[in-house]
Amino acid sequence: MGVRVDEPELSMMPGDEIHGFVLESIDVLDDYHGYGYFYRHRITGMEVYHVANKDPENFFGFIFKTPPVNDCGTPHIIEHCLLAGSKRYPVRDPFMSLL
């Protein structure tokens, strides 16, 4: 794991804005030896959470809220269809293949 960041990396305070994103909060993340910055885009409402520490490895992810129109299970069925593989990609369980 990374080394503790002594000071927050940005000289921003909650309420400050950068590129349309408003800094909502700064959290101390002891488990990650750093800080967490929560931003919300002023117009779109998009949320970004940035973890800052001295670990040289970086990652990112996108999460989209896609609420179903009903509770008949269609998203779950589609998930299983997509993860069942194909002729071109014959992997039945892609998550276990990653281990």
The H-or-E segment that residue 97 falls in is helix 94-97
Going from the C-alpha of 38 to that of each of 8, 19, 23, 83, the distances in angstroms are 13, 14, 6, 32
**Residues recognised as catalytic:** 79
Contact at 8 Å (CB) between 20 and 42?
Answer: yes
Contact indicator for 29, 5 with CB cutoff of 8 Å: no
